[in-house]
Structure 1
Amino acid sequence: MGKIIAVANQKGGVGKTTTCANLGICLAKEGKKVLLIDADSQGSLTISMGYPQPDQLEVSLATILGKVIKEEEIMPTEGILHHEEGIDILPGNIELSGLEVSLVNVMSREQILKQYVSLIKDKYDYIIIDCMPSLSTLTINVLSCADSVMIPVQAAYLPVKGLEQLIKTISKVKRHLNPKIEIEGILITMVDGRTNYAKDITTMLREAYGRNIKIFENHIPMSVRAQEASTQGMSIFRHDPKGKVAQAYQTLTEEVIGSEKWCKQY
């Protein structure tokens, strides 16, 4: 049975999509079967996986969730695309915005995505879901079906201060919708190694949240190469395999797998 990791932050531009793509592909490199789900109407993860026109795809996450709402049959592989670097992706596009509106009148609207994921999760070791940068109904759907949440945070003051609302929302979801959900950890991204600023931000995070939430030891450095990889529809491991960003995501992947092994032992 696969582990479901939501990658969430209500602030955009903090490296959520980059983290989803590179963590997923690195897990695949380690022999894991991985599905990425793009739950953002902007379709950024879909674009970064080599599908530059997500709104033109015939089947997307919105299509699948629409079938769940209408109680129509869904084939296990329906809508899932295969990326050449060894992962599967269920794309997202602008149709998710319309679906969000229609969810208002749906019974158990926070559980629609969970119903779909329950059909496919046994086929994967990891399902990684890229959330939209808001605490929307669709984001609540993602949190309702996830085992854990990874929170990428840009190494800057304001993004760190915005964490409190997200953590409160995760706590509410845990109390009312999904008792098993945990915070995988806070991942500090877009770190400028030329300054001590990131160290100050890390200290701030540890003082504010470190007692109750894991702060990943590994930081993701700021790099133009990571942005270039996304625009070319490939991972950093193919675009710049020996670079510092690839090394950082490799270390992050080892941390994620290591935490799984530890949990299984205990």
Structure 2
Amino acid sequence: MPVITFTHHKGGTGKTTSCLNCGGFLNKKGKRVLVIDCDPQANATTGLGCDPQEPRKNMYDVFMSGTDEFEAVALKEIIVSTESGIDLCPSSLDLAGAEPYLYEREDRLFVLKEAIKPILRRYSYILIDTPPSMGQFVINGIVAADHVIVTLDNGMFARTGLEALQTIFSDIAEITGTPVSADMAVITRGRMIQEEMTPGEEISRGFRRLLGLKNEETTSREQFEEIVVFCEKFFPNVFTIPYDILIHEAQKQGLPLSEFAPESKAAVVYEEISSAIEKLN
């Protein structure tokens, strides 16, 4: 019953997108999947069609269990079913308030790992979405994981972010006494590659400039290929996700691509990644 954490301390790298879409295709293959949303922004919660503002117990209650006079709340008590078929441990903005309390606990690195243990046998895969930070929720996600997947964008600072993440892994390994490494890198094209733009996209960008609207950012193919080569030095598996507007449309509908647009460009690659995840067992 592998626990897989999607992580990067930088925002906008596609952690949530990759977590939900890999989970969607694993679920479509008949696997029972649980997504644990450890991000106070609650994007995974929203992305699976759940309202993070709805009053219910969530990951805040789990992380606060055993702290001061807070009641004990188990993961199984907060699990909700979603339209996609994926189970979810939802988050909310309240989760941000739990982090200061974790620093006071001696077992702070292992709170999530211990919380997961009672439900391990219920699922084929447990996927953890972490926030863009270097805080306790990221560390808890990495410590709880059997496998770690790093997500990166194709921007100019991807290399710097990866080097910083390697330092985090080393620090966690030193503290816990357990080696930490990433099994896979997923590079998401948050920016379009200039050379791949169709004439229609070029015209659209021209009109947007005339109207004073902001265009999607682009990057060069050379820069993108440099990032891929760089990642291949660190990770045994590297996947690149093509720019695909249907990713955002699916998230608006609260569904993974496996349900919303299974034949789309990005969906094809996420299905390949889900197959690679199965081989990690």
TM superposition score normalised by structure 2: 0.84
The equivalent residue for 1:219 is 240
The change in CA–CA distance for 1:72 and 1:178 in structure 2 (over 3 A counts) is farther
Compared with structure 1, are the counterparts of its residues 161 and 76 closer, same or farther at alpha carbon in structure 2 (3 Å cutoff)?
closer
Is 1:256 matched up with 2:255? no
Q: Deviations over 1:224-262 (max 9, x none)?
A: 1101111110111222121111101011111111232xx
Structure-1 separation of matches of 2:252 and 2:19: 15
8 A Cα contact 2:158 2:227, kept in partner: no
Give, as a single letter, the amino acid of the residue that structure 1 aligns with 2:251.
S
Q: CA deviation at 1:55?
A: 2.7
> In 1, distance between residues paired with 2:28 and 2:136?
33
Shift of 1:175: 2.8
Structure showing greater Rg: 2
Q: Which amino acid aligns with 1:62?
A: Y
Whether the 8 Å CA contact 1:41–1:93 is kept in 2: the answer is yes
1:140 matched to 2:139? The reply is: yes
Instruction: Tell me the equivalent position of 1:16.
Output: 15
3-state SS in 1 of match to 2:76: coil
Shift of the alpha carbon at 1:71? 8.2
Q: Residue 144 and residue 71 in structure 1: after superposition, are their counterparts in 2 closer, same or farther (change >3 A)? A: farther
Equivalence for 1:201? 227
CA distance in 1, matches of 2:263, 2:131: 30
- Give the Å deviation of 1:72: 4.8
1:2-49 Cα distance to aligned partner (Å, 9 max, x none): 111110011111111011101011111112111100000000100111
SS at match of 1:86: coil
Determine if contact 2:32/2:124 at 8 Å carries over to the other structure: yes
Contact persistence 1:144–1:178 (CA under 8 A): no
Q: SS state of the match for residue 41, structure 2?
A: coil
3-state secondary structure, aligned to 1:183: coil
TM-aligned CA deviation for residue 171 of structure 1: 2.0
Aligned-pair identity in percent equals 28
Distance 1:57 1:26, change over 3 A: farther
Residue 56 of structure 2 aligns with which residue? 58
Distance 1:252 1:98 in 2: 34
Q: 1:222 to 1:121 in 2, by over 3 A?
A: same
Q: Quick one: distance in 1 between partners of 2:70 and 2:146?
A: 25
Tell me, what secondary structure is at the counterpart of 2:280? helix
Mapped pair 1:120 → 2:119 = yes
- In structure 2, what is the equivalent of residue 239 of structure 1? 260
- Over 3 Å counting, the alpha-carbon distance change for 1:76 and 1:104 in structure 2 is closer
Q: Give 2:152's aligned residue.
A: 153
**C-alpha distance in structure 2 between counterparts of 1:9 and 1:71, whole Å:** 30
Give the residue type in structure 2 aligned to 1:200. Answer: E
The alpha carbon displacement at 1:176 in A equals 2.1
For residues 159 and 118 of structure 2, the distance between their equivalents in structure 1, rounded to whole angstroms, comes to 36
Q: Distance in 1 between matches of 2:158 and 2:225?
A: 15
Structure 2: gaps (5+ residues)? 197-219
**In 1, distance between residues paired with 2:75 and 2:99?**
23
- Distance change >3 Å, CA 250–CA 102, structure 1 → 2: same
TM-score normalised according to structure 1 size = 0.88
1:122 deviates by: 1.9
Q: In structure 2, what is the equivalent of residue 264 of structure 1?
A: none
May I ask how many residue pairs the two structures share in their alignment?
A: 253
Q: Is the 8 A contact 2:59 2:89 kept in 1?
A: yes
